[in-house]
């Protein structure tokens, strides 16, 4: 029995609901610049473009509004939020506050086995980087950080950082992938690990800050003139 409906990806997992796929595609189309900043998104056009009906489109729009990429006004529709330098900087400023806070706070609950796990993830990252497997790098990078954040026991902060991740990850995939920053990332993660092991909050704060600032600078540099 052939299920031609399934548009499962190469990982072989089941197809997501339509609204999820539309959301991903729309996010890409906004961040890649297909839709112009400030443009009004008309549902009829999107229905045409993505070949689905209104409901999944609207759900996707709601979700992207939650991510800050759209502004929806009742009875007036959705506008694309300007993704300019100022927007990205505002996100990274907030990110830094939260990342540093959570990384320091995780020390309260950090056990030996957690440090072991982090070191293990780090090792995997380093070997993925050596093999130039950047997809694995992205995933391991994320796992490294979310392991730390989850230890901090702060659901709100975690949720905000997850939201940002969607956005940043899409930007990374759109503009220059396989960043040559892997070597730097390895250094910075090592510094964070070492600081966590030392148990010195000030050291952790510094290491986390540095990592975040560099990540921001790298992304902005990669996007370069396409911004604004």
CB of 59 to DNA, least distance (A): 6
Three-class SS state of 166: helix
Q: Which does 101 bind (CB under 5 to 8 A by kind): DNA, a second copy, none?
A: a second copy
Give the integer Cα–Cα distance in Å for 94 and 118.
24
Helix (H) or strand (E) holding 77: strand 77-80
Helix (H) or strand (E) holding 40: strand 40-41
- Quick check: 79 binds a second copy (CB under 8 A)? no
**Among positions 76, 111, 113, 180, the unique one binding DNA when judged by CB under 7 A:** 76
**Among positions 17, 33, 66, 199, the unique one binding DNA when judged by CB under 7 A:** 17
Q: Which does 44 bind (CB under 5 to 8 A by kind): a second copy, DNA, none?
A: DNA
Q: Which does 76 bind (CB under 5 to 8 A by kind): DNA, a second copy, none?
A: DNA
Give the neighbor-by-neighbor strand order of the sheet with 70-73.
40-41, 77-80, 70-73
- Quick check: 160 binds a second copy (CB under 8 A)? yes
The number of residues that bind DNA (CB under 7 A) is 23
Q: Using CB atoms within 10 A of its CB, is residue 155 exposed (0-12), middle (13-18) or buried (19+)? A: exposed
- Quick check: 175 binds a second copy (CB under 8 A)? no
Only one of the segments 36-44, 84-92, 175-183, 194-202 lies at the binding site for DNA (rule: CB under 7 A); that segment is 36-44
* 157, 98 Cβ separation under 8 angstroms: yes
Q: Bridge-partner residues for 40, per DSSP? A: 79
Instruction: Report residue 94 CA to chain centroid gap.
Output: 14
Give the integer Cα–Cα distance in Å for 37 and 30.
8
**Among positions 7, 10, 13, 75, the unique one binding a second copy when judged by CB under 8 A:** 75
**Among positions 5, 111, 113, 180, the unique one binding DNA when judged by CB under 7 A:** 5
Residues at the contact surface with DNA, assessed by CB under 7 A: 5, 14, 17-19, 40-44, 52-56, 58-59, 72, 74-78
């Amino acid at each position: 029995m052939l299920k031609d409906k399934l548009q499962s990806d190469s990982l072989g997992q089941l197809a997501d609901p339509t609204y999820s796929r539309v959301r991903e595609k729309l996010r890409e189309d906004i961040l890649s610049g297909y839709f112009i900043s400030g443009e009004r998104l008309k549902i009829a056009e999107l229905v045409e473009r993505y070949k689905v009906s209104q409901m999944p489109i609207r759900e996707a729009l709601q979700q992207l509004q939650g991510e800050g990429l759209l502004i929806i006004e009742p009875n007036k529709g959705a506008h694309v939020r300007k993704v300019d330098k100022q927007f990205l900087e505002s996100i990274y400023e907030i990110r830094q506050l939260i990342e540093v806070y959570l990384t320091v706070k995780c020390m309260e609950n950090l056990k030996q086995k957690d440090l072991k796990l982090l070191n293990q993830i780090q090792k995997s990252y380093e070997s993925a980087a050596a093999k130039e497997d950047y997809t694995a790098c992205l995933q391991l990078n994320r796992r490294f950080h979310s392991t730390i954040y989850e230890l901090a026991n702060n659901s709100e902060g975690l949720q905000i950082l997850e939201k940002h991740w969607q956005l940043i990850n899409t930007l990374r995939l759109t503009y220059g992938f396989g960043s040559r920053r892997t070597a730097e990332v390895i250094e910075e993660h090592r510094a964070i690990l070492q600081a966590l092991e030392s148990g010195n909050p000030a050291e952790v704060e510094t290491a986390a800050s540095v990592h975040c600032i560099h990540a921001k600078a790298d992304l902005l540099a990669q996007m370069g003139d396409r911004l604004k």
